[in-house]
Structures are given as structure tokens and as C-alpha cells.
Structure 1
Amino acid sequence: MADPTVLIVEDEPDLANLYAAWLRDATDVETAYSGSEALDAISKTVDIVLLDRRMPGLSGDEVLSTIRDRDLDTRVAMVTAVEPDFDIVGMGFDDYLVKPVSKSDLLSTIDQLLLRSTYDTQIQQFFSLASKKAVLDSQKTEAELHASQEYARLQDRLNVMRAQLDETITELSDHDAYRRVCRDLSRTE
């Protein structure tokens, strides 16, 4: 199997080049130093995008929206100094890392995103929502979480999706691939 292709989108060239050096042994790496460069570089061959959220010109949020509008089957991890707020609930990323990040953080995230991409859309959506909940849980106080309608809707969506996944897994339990998914899901909880 060929190495996955990772597009690093970071407006600080030194940081983008550092990430690229960290990932070069495990992935095929491309770099873009602006949002517009990212949109020129993104294609169906890119498996994962590591995307800075705050960039001059075209922001990471806008790049993410365009990636999703193009209906590309790529996983996107926001790698940013922007502390997450409840606005992330409606965003189409798959994971969110707050800088500074380590080499092991990036490699672990890439491994997880590659694993998720082998699962069907329903499970990918579940993991995306679970990642958003996890980042908000780690960054917000209990009072902030309880006061947020977006967070309450997120929890409701996760509960509904968990029930749907349980139903799907039960229906498909005779298939080996879904048995592996069940084992993987039980390990993450």
C-alpha cells in the first residue's frame, strides 16, 4: 500500500516545514503556506489535510468549507492556536489539535484519521462529533458546557448516532469487517 498523502496548510513556513520533516518518513507530504495555495493543491489524491485555522487572506475555516463543498473524500484535522469554542460543532473537520503539537500528536492523529477513513460514513460522522465533544470537554468549564445549546445539541446528536450505530452493527454483526469496527469502537470508549 502506498504511503498516505498529507497536505500541511500552515502560514508559518518554519512550522509547516517542521511538520513536513516529522511526517516525511511515514507519509507523502505536500505543503501549502496559504489558504489559496491549499485550494490549488487539494485534490482527490490527498488523504489528510492538516489545516491551520487562522491564516491571512483565506482562513482555514474558509478552506475547510471549500474542501467540503468540493465533496472530496479527505480527512481534515485543524492544527491551530485558536482555542476551540462552540462554533466548532457545525464545522466539517474530523479532529482538532491545539498548538503546540508534538510529532507524536501529529502521527497519532494521522493514524486515527486513516483508520477512520476505512469505516463507512456513519462511523466517520460519529467520530467527528465525538472529537468535537472531546475537545470542548477539555477546553470548557462544566458551567460553559451546561449553558451551551450547541453543546446540548451535540450531545443529543451523539446519542442518536450511537443508537443508530448500535443498530447498524447488530444488523451487520455477521460480517467480519463490522466485528473489527465493534472491537475498535469498544476500545475508544
Structure 2
Amino acid sequence: MSPDQSTVLVVDDEEDVADLYAMWLQDDYRVRSVYEGESALDVLDETVDVVLLDRRMPGQSGDEVLERIRERELNCRVVMVTAVKPDFDILEMGFDDYLVKPVSREDLDETVSEMLTRVDYGAKLQEFYSLVSKKAVLEAEKDAAALDDSDEYAELTAEIEDLREEVEKTRDQLSDHDDYVGAFQDL
């Protein structure tokens, strides 16, 4: 397992289901599995990138766990993976995607990959705009000759162009309008 792999937390009170999802994902990600909401909140930290969360669990429901995750302001994507058919109540929920069981291995893999692409895009886009802002400040405060003579400014300009290419490449990987919109909502 590579140390730079993303971490997925699977939360489902049906142990067989949680273990199956973990088995499907373990070759590509670090996977943690828990079987109740309280345990999910105990193991959830800033290293978790994606949470696969069942809605209906005894004790603390997935809806309540989702609220706690958002209150903690953790930078993870949350996918509800549940047998509960969506209704209008989902409009108030802060999840990133919603899968209705039964879920295929392909759908699960694709969804986790899309969530990670959104995270990657959001981070790159934030860094890009930060650098562009710094460049604009320098251009407003320095004359053209000072900018032309500055190695730091030249490096900044090159870094912005490299990052622009990465942002555009990642944007192209977002498979549909919802992924693209989701990435901006993450910002």
C-alpha cells in the first residue's frame, strides 16, 4: 500500500456490506470500516478523504453523523450509500453524492474516484487563485522593469502557467456537470 493513497471510511451497520465495500476498495485506497455512527465519529479525522455513509443505523443515524462531520468542518467528501430512497429531505443535507443500494463495485469505484477528483480540483484551483492574486498585487505595486528583473516573479509566472495546465486537465476529468458544480461547491 502506497503512503500517498487516499483514505476511505466505510460506515454501515450491516457488517457484511461494510466489509464487502472495503474489500472492493482496498487495492486502491486505505480503507477503514466501522459498523455504527459513534465509531465513525471516533475514527474520523483529517486523514479521511471520502466517507461512505449508510443513512439508517441503530444509535446514531447516518444523517446525524453527516451533521457532525460538517460541524467539525473536516475536508472530506461524504457519499450516502443507503437503501433509503431519496426524498425532498435530502435538499437540506450536506452530502456530496447519494447512492441507493444495491451498489455495484463499478459504481462504488467510480463514485470514490469522482469525489477524489473534486477534492484535487478544488485544492489546485484554490492554489492557482492564490498565486494569481499574488501576481496581481506585485503587478499593481511594481513597475515593469522591476518585474522583468525579478527571478521570483518569473518563477511565480511559470508556476501559475503549470498550475493552470493541471487545473484544466483535472477539470476535464470531471465527468459531468454535477461533478464540476460539486467541485466549486467544495470551494
TM-score, scaled to structure 2: 0.68
1:125-180 per-position Cα deviation (integer Å, ceiling 9, x unaligned): xxxxxxxxxxxxxxxxxxxxxxxxxxxxxxxxxxxxxxxxxxxxxxx9x9323433
Q: Distance in 2 between matches of 1:182 and 1:119?
A: 7
Distance in 2 separating the partners of 1:108 and 1:91:
22
The Cα shift of 1:65 comes to: 0.5
In the alignment, residue 188 of structure 1 is paired with which amino acid? Answer: D
Assess if the C-alpha contact under 8 Å between 2:117 and 2:173 holds in 1: no
The answer on whether the counterparts of 2:117 and 2:170 sit within 8 Å (CA) in structure 1 is no
2:143 is matched with none
Please identify the structure whose Cα radius of gyration is greater: 2
Q: Counterpart in 2 of 1:111? A: 113
CA distance in 1 between counterparts of 2:40 and 2:169 reads 35
- Within the candidate set 3, 6, 27, 2:5 is matched to 3
- State the distance in 2 between where 1:182 and 1:109 align: 16
Q: CA deviation at 1:184?
A: 4.1
Instruction: Give the 5 Å matches for 1:64-79.
Output: 64-79=66-81
Per-residue CA deviation, residues 78-122 of structure 1 (Å, 9 max, x unaligned), is 00000001111121111100000011111111100000001228x
2:165 to 159, 162, 176: 176
**Paired-residue identity, %:** 53
Unaligned runs of 5+ residues in structure 2 are 126-160, 178-187
Return the letter of the residue paired with 1:16. Answer: A
Letter in 1 for 2:112: I
Contact kept, 8 Å, 2:79 with 2:99, in 1: the verdict is yes
Where does the alignment leave 5 or more consecutive residues of structure 1 unmatched? Answer: 124-171
Aligned 1:29-44 pairs, distance under 5 A: 29-44=31-46
Give the CA deviation at 1:44: 0.4
| Structure 1 letter corresponding to 2:168 | R
Matches within 5 A, 1:76-155: 76-120=78-122
Match of residue 16 from structure 1: 18
- Once the 2 structures are TM-superposed, how far is the Cα of residue 182 of structure 1 from its aligned partner? 4.8
Deviation of residue 181 (structure 1)? 4.9
- Give 3-state SS (helix, strand or coil) of 1:119's partner: helix
Q: What is the distance in 2 between the residues matched to 1:30 and 1:183?
A: 30
**Matched residues, number:** 138
CA RMSD of aligned residues (A): 2.0
Q: Report the AA paired with residue 86 of structure 1.
A: F
Whichever residue aligns with residue 165 of structure 2, its letter is D
- Paired amino acid for 2:50: I
TM-score by length of 1: 0.68
Task: Give the SS at the match of 1:97.
Answer: strand
Q: Deviation per CA, 1:30-78: give whole Å up to 9, x if none.
A: 0110000100010001111000001111000000000010000001100
For residue 76 of structure 1, give the secondary structure of its aligned residue in structure 2.
strand
